[in-house]
Chain A
Amino acid sequence: MTLGAHPLRILVVDDEPAILRFLRAGLTAQGYVVSEADSGQPAIDVARRGGADLIVLDLGLPDIDGLEVIRRIREAGLAVPIVVLSSRDDERAKVAALDLGADDFVTKPFGIDELLARIRTALRHRLQQEGETPVFKSGDLSVDLVRRIVTVRGAEVKFSPREYEVLRLLVAHAGKVLTHRFLLTKVWGGDTDVQYLRIYIRALRQKIEPDPERPQHILTETGIGYRLRVID
């Protein structure tokens, strides 16, 4: 993977040597240049120097809390994409990380494929800051962001303004998880009850999913938020 002239650099931050080993192997095989850090402060320093194009960050670090690392990086105005590694039961930590500015997460234990997909998505979105593709296509769903027309299995589908807004956000961050809070704030302007969001997601699914009860496009990340899948 290259950005312009040079290969993309990924900084892996984890204090567990075994994890570092297999990440290095897996990422290097994909063409990324991998550097390692085993604690938070060096990670922040590398980010400040602009020494990484993406950071894979474990939340459970010995010196500084992972969330704190994210906060400091974002407060420094750095937009480097961050993918967070977190353990099973900690929904709250994942939500906090995302709200602080992380791009996505992967739950330990995880398969390398999942992580690679998240990394690809995060990189793509960061690269696309400089220009959006006008038409989004994923499987049988097609969204024209300029003309605001949504086509499902060839037929156009109508949405209410709010419904479209939710869909637009999901499309804008396609492949990435969006927290309930993020969506509620962007669409409703405040931290209202999450049930409203759920109702709208249900409505969206009814309209665009072939089987609304077993959705393929709009995926639920239980306890965290929703994610629009990118089907190639």
Chain B
Amino acid sequence: MGEQKDRRPSPEALLRIAEQGGRGRLKLFLGAAPGVGKTYEMLSAARAKRREGADVVIGVVETHGRAETEALIADLPVVPRRVIDYKGRQLTEMDLDAILARRPQLVLVDELAHTNAPGSRHPKRHMDVEELLAAGIDVFTTMNIQHVESLNDVVARITRIRVRETVPDSMLDRADDIELIDLTPDDLIKRLQEGKVYIAHQAERAIRHYFAPGNLTALRELALRRTAQRVDDQMLDYMRTHAIEGPWPASERLLVCIEGRNAPAIVRHAKRIADQLRAPWSALNVETPGTSRGGETAKIHAAEALRLAHLLGAETVVLPGQDVAATIIDYARANNATHIIIGKPARPRWHQLLFGSPVQKLISRAGGINVHIIEAPSGKAEAKLRPAVKPAFAPLPFVVSVLLIAGATPVALALRQYLNISNIALVYLTAVLVSAVMYGLGPSLLACFVGVLAYNFFFLPPVYTFTIADPENVVALVAFAIVAVIASNLAASVRGQAIAARHRAKITEDLYNFSRKLGAAVTLDDLLWATAHQIALMLKVRVVLLLPEGDSVAVKAGFPPEDMLEDADLAAAKWAWEKNRPAGRDSDTLPGAKWLFLPMRTSRRPVGVAGIIRDDPGPLLTPDQQRLLDALLDQAAMAIERVNLAAELDKARLAAETDRLRSALLTSISHDLRTPLASILGSASSLASQGAAFDEDTKKTLLGTIQEEAERLNRFIGNLLDMTRLESGAVEPRTTLVVLSDVIGAALRRADKILAGHRVELKLDADLPMLPLDMVLFEQTLFNLLDNAAKYSPPGSLIRVTARRIRDVVRLSVLDEGDGIPEADVERIFDKFYRARGADRGRAGTGLGLAICRGFVEAMHGTITAANRADRRGAVFTISLPVPANATLPEAAAA
């Protein structure tokens, strides 16, 4: 942990610079107290910018009626404020959307700490400013030192006025320039007396105290120090970016423990120390069974404090644990914390002595880690606490506990003869323990109390009275009472742990099951449904899931299934998607919306937005539920990304396959067109150059070759054209009723030359009906089948064409006596470019003929199949055509 002598620019510094790009510059005019003249300075600076040629507008400036300030506004363009109707009152706020639309270079926004009226997009003006900066607009703004979040307690202590409106420290850290408007206390007091200072809503006395010289000096020092700290940071950033050696701080790390009601104040203190040490810091909250039992209030306190810590820049952690001190130490050691900050214990001294306190344990076990114990002012609870949810009071456990004691009494009486008086107490103890295990601490303490009374009444002489004669028995009674209380405490604690453990186990199991369901979901719809269902089930809310569509998001699933979101809600969802931040109820943006929208994202990118809503008022989610929801959404986001990636993979594969086919096509065409051309060119050039030397027969042969190959080329080109037409969907059958023998005869005639080397036999049924066909396409189909048969069967063999009617189907078959089709290829034979292996008997084809047959036949609503002949070796191709209901036989129609 020594000093680092690293010459490389620190990544954080560089990242900060990188993040700056594209963002607007923020200049803060900081003052120690109201009235120092911040607004005036801001306006002056703005006017100077305008003289330089910048486009400056006024977003919102409070002049409070001061003439000199108003004079400065004079000719600067003002964006009119937005009017918000709130409960019958007209309130005006800065019009954020108008400024974003106007896109000035620089906008003036007074009073950064201001809280916006309900109905605005963001609850606080500094969030508006963040949005302006993100849009690339420069901002000048003003604030007082008392508005800084981390200094809130300090200022309150000084001025005795706690300021409610705060600005997170991150704004100051992010500001590119801070200009301190400094005024000596005397000058400020003089201005106050001259009536040039405006303070709202405070009593006379408070103001006088506020502006006491001592206070003003303290505030001034605070402001100066804070500004100096910022300057120091900037200097260090500069040095780090340019890798200048400097006094790098030792690598310290802070850990602050969140516990109890004063946690927020302790968090702020920790922030100040962390700033001074320039060290990263974490905030840890340990959840013991006790805190789980304590109800929602304690948890909400802790959540608030954690939220504040996060806002101030800490890493926040919640860990479950039995022993608070041990958990803290373990975490500190694991994360190399060098300082632990903890609040002074709240329990009274005797309690600490008796039971030990976490703080004591911490100190004794901390080893080399520094422990700071902070006394925080026990101020009133933070105003923004949400109403706690009190568990309902159930009388049943208490009644049952009393009944248990009542039941134990007769048992004890029965055993009276066999047992010592002291041992009778054990019976009651059993009852108390049972009560503790079943119902917890409250009912078991009641059982203790009733048990003590019963024991006294029924067993301690004088019997049937509440007095005790023998002092020894008093001891017995007291002993029993103490044992009972301790035992019930322990039992209740165990029970509490068991309940908490079961609860955690249930949640873990639910998450595990959810994870498996997500893994099993194949389609995106399944996934979304499972997610929506799970969220609704586990959190008892209504859910919608939105996925990107175009440049916005649209509802894709929900539970209960709900397709529609109102425009206002949809706008909130869109905002959440664009800015990748939560929006809606209980969030920092558009908190007036009914739904809460949370972006779902993986480490790579956002994948969607989830929206939840519950009809009852109050906070939407407890901190536990919040964590659970985060876990669910993370899993869902990953699953969605997985599905998306799978789809992209498929698309990529398809594209690759298409490319493969395309190159196969080109190769095939190239080869099959060039082969006949080679023969033609060769023969023709032979005749041309050596024709005189050839005899008549040779000449005739060569000329015959030229003709044959030219016709073959013609067929290939025809196939290509047909295939192209099929592929582009340009095949529109012109259907008429056709006599089959007509078209078969035409096809045979056309294939005359090709079939010259074979025998052809026709066997057509006499009663074939006329069929609705495109005669041209069908003739081409038959021609291709005949060509195929001739190609793949030996010369001299028989080619048969048969046609039969079988009920409502006509089957036309072409049979050859060749080698047949390999079994595996019977289906694939109709694929484009398919050629039976090793079947190149010198008469190769493009591999398109059969594919064209299938395309044409299917366009005419028929089917075509290939098979091997059952009676002998050879292939049979069968076209099946449906017979229309009112089929006519040629005879019958001839009139």
Q: Residue A222 contacts which of B710, B737, B764, B775 (CB distance < 8 angstroms)?
A: B775
Contacts A195-B736, A195-B770 given; does A212 touch B741 at CB 8 Å: yes
Contacts of A198 in B (CB 8 A): 737-739, 742, 770, 890
Contacts A195-B736, A222-B776 given; does A213 touch B893 at CB 8 Å: no
Taken residue by residue from 73 to 89, chain A's Cβ proximity to chain B (1 for < 8 Å, 0 otherwise) reads as 00000000000000011
B749 & A202 in contact (Cβ 8 Å cutoff): no
Contacts A88-B718, A202-B739 given; does A214 touch B745 at CB 8 Å: yes
Write the nearest CB–CB distance from B52 to chain A, whole angstroms.
Answer: 69
Complex Cα spacing A212 to B742, Å: 9
Contacts of A201 in B (CB 8 A): 739, 742
B762 & A222 in contact (Cβ 8 Å cutoff): no
A222 & B746 in contact (Cβ 8 Å cutoff): yes
A196 & B745 in contact (Cβ 8 Å cutoff): no
Contacts of A111 in B (CB 8 A): 707
Taken residue by residue from 619 to 654, chain B's Cβ proximity to chain A (1 for < 8 Å, 0 otherwise) reads as 000000000000000000000000000000000000
B residues 848-895 near A (Cβ < 8 Å) are 888, 890, 893-894
Contacts A88-B718, A198-B770, A202-B890 given; does A214 touch B748 at CB 8 Å: yes
Of all chain B residues, the one with the shortest Cβ separation from A216 is B749
Complex Cα spacing A193 to B714, Å: 33
The bracket for how many chain A residues form the interface is 20 to 34
The bracket for how many chain B residues form the interface is 20 to 34
The reply on B374 being an interface residue by CB < 8 A is no
The reply on B539 being an interface residue by CB < 8 A is no
The reply on A28 being an interface residue by CB < 8 A is no
Write the nearest CB–CB distance from A197 to chain B, whole angstroms.
Answer: 10
Contacts of B745 in A (CB 8 A): 213-215, 220
The reply on A189 being an interface residue by CB < 8 A is no
B residues 115-171 near A (Cβ < 8 Å) are none
A203 & B894 in contact (Cβ 8 Å cutoff): yes
Complex Cα spacing A214 to B741, Å: 8
Of all chain B residues, the one with the shortest Cβ separation from A200 is B894
B residues 725-749 near A (Cβ < 8 Å) are 736-739, 741-746, 748-749
The reply on B779 being an interface residue by CB < 8 A is yes
| B741, B742, B749, B888 pick with most chain A CB within 10 angstroms | B742
Interface of A is mostly: mixed
The reply on A93 being an interface residue by CB < 8 A is no
The reply on B48 being an interface residue by CB < 8 A is no
Write the nearest CB–CB distance from B749 to chain A, whole angstroms.
Answer: 7
A222 & B894 in contact (Cβ 8 Å cutoff): no
Taken residue by residue from 702 to 735, chain B's Cβ proximity to chain A (1 for < 8 Å, 0 otherwise) reads as 0000010011001000100100000000000000
The reply on A223 being an interface residue by CB < 8 A is yes
Of all chain A residues, the one with the shortest Cβ separation from B707 is A111
Write the nearest CB–CB distance from B289 to chain A, whole angstroms.
Answer: 86
Write the nearest CB–CB distance from A106 to chain B, whole angstroms.
Answer: 14
Contacts A198-B770, A199-B894, A203-B894 given; does A193 touch B736 at CB 8 Å: yes
Q: Residue A196 contacts which of B707, B718, B762, B893 (CB distance < 8 angstroms)?
A: B893
Contacts of A196 in B (CB 8 A): 893
The reply on A194 being an interface residue by CB < 8 A is yes
Q: Apart from A198-B890, A202-B890, what are 13 other A-B pairs with CB-CB below 8 Å?
A: A194-B736, A195-B737, A195-B770, A198-B737, A200-B894, A202-B739, A202-B741, A213-B764, A214-B748, A219-B746, A220-B743, A220-B745, A220-B746
Instruction: Pick the 7 closest A-B CB pairs, nearest first.
Output: A195-B737, A220-B746, A223-B776, A199-B890, A222-B779, A213-B741, A198-B739
11 residue pairs A–B, Cβ–Cβ below 8 Å: A109-B711, A109-B714, A193-B736, A195-B736, A199-B890, A202-B741, A213-B741, A220-B746, A220-B749, A222-B779, A223-B775
